[in-house]
């Protein structure tokens, strides 16, 4: 019997599908430091972002045959080394795209209308309704604005779809594409919009909002921030460190950046206090894919890939 360790969990539908196919699925979490001696009891490990599958763990688990990542990024897995040992890595790039893109726009709306600040301040005992109404009377609409998208894969395309629905101009950046057909479903009618990819320079100079969907890297630093429009709003739901945190804090302080949305951080699970306490930053604890719909899709996709591998 194939034994599967879902160390960071799996949705009930995915677990059931595997068990119906004759697999044993263990969902009891094994701490990282115990995996070196316990992972070898399993044929498959399923992880999210918490569990790391590095070279040393792979070497200590000769019975391991498949590594699965419930999500998009696989930077917590030494997947090239695993491949060299004949162990494939499967992820679920399509399952959570809409959920991540919706979180981006939740942050964008909040920052554009100062929802995250006024919601907190109005609840305080000394929260004065009239003064807060005046303080937060300079909101802005997303309609008619320009959305820059860094990384035009599945999540970036979902962000473009939502932006087009809001009446935004879309400026995606992706070194591997020239354009992308984005399909809108308008009351049951399918409308296809071809969105051309632009240069990084053009996107930085013209975007009012920028959302980042790349697997990693240090892409936005002081130089890139300086090229952006004054009052730009940024969102990072990809990987911590894609936006240099020191440069971001400086740009928020100067007013160059109106607001920033961070779902990911360099120091996870202990982000810098300067980020968490900055009133111009809207924060969430890495919950881009944390919807029931996304988890269901991830469970389905994981089960399909594991069953497809073993039969």
**Catalytic site residues?**
239, 268, 286
Question: What's the half-sphere exposure (Cβ side, CA atoms, 13 Å) at 299?
Answer: 20
Cα 264 to Cα 29, 160, 178, 228: the distances in Å are 23, 21, 28, 21
- Residue 198: is it exposed, middle or buried by C-beta count within 10 angstroms (0-12/13-18/19+)? buried
Give yes or no for a cis peptide into 140 (omega within 30° of 0): no
Sign of the four-CA dihedral 105, 111, 112, 115: positive
Listed residue (189, 200, 199) closest to 223, CA to CA: 200
- Residue 62: is it exposed, middle or buried by C-beta count within 10 angstroms (0-12/13-18/19+)? exposed
Under DSSP, the state recorded for 189 is E
Query: 12-20 and 292-310 are packed helices; what angle lies between their axes, rounded to 10 degrees?
Result: 20
């Amino acid at each position: 019997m194939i034994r599967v360790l879902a160390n960071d969990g799996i949705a009930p539908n995915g677990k059931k599908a595997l068990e119906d196919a004759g697999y044993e699925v263990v969902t009891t979490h094994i701490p990282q430091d115990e995996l070196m001696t316990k992972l070898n009891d399993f044929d498959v490990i399923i992880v999210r972002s918490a569990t790391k599958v590095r070279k040393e763990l792979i070497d200590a688990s000769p019975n391991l045959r498949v590594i699965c990542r419930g999500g998009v990024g696989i930077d917590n897995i030494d997947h090239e080394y695993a491949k060299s040992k004949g162990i494939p890595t499967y992820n679920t790039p399509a399952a959570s795209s809409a959920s991540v893109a919706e979180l981006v726009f939740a942050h964008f709306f909040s920052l554009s209308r100062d929802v995250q600040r006024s919601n907190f301040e109005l609840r305080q005992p000394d929260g004065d309704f009239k003064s807060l109404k005046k303080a937060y009377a300079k909101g802005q609409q997303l309609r008619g604005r320009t959305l820059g998208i860094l990384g035009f894969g599945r999540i970036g395309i979902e962000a473009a779809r939502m932006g087009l629905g809001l009446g935004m101009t879309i400026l995606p950046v992706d070194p591997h594409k020239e354009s992308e057909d984005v399909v809108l479903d308008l009351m049951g009618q399918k409308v296809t919009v071809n969105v051309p990819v632009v240069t990084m320079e053009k996107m930085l100079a013209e975007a009012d909002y920028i959302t980042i969907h790349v697997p990693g890297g240090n892409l936005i630093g002081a130089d890139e921030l300086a090229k952006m429009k004054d009052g730009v709003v940024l969102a990072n739901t990809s990987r911590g460190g894609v936006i240099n945190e020191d440069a971001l804090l400086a740009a928020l302080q100067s007013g160059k950046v109106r607001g920033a949305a961070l779902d990911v951080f360099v120091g996870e699970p202990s982000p810098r206090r300067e980020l968490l306490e900055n009133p111009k930053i809207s924060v969430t604890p890495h919950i881009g894919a944390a919807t029931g719909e996304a988890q269901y899709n991830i469970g389905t996709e994981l089960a399909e890939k594991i069953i497809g591998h073993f039969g």
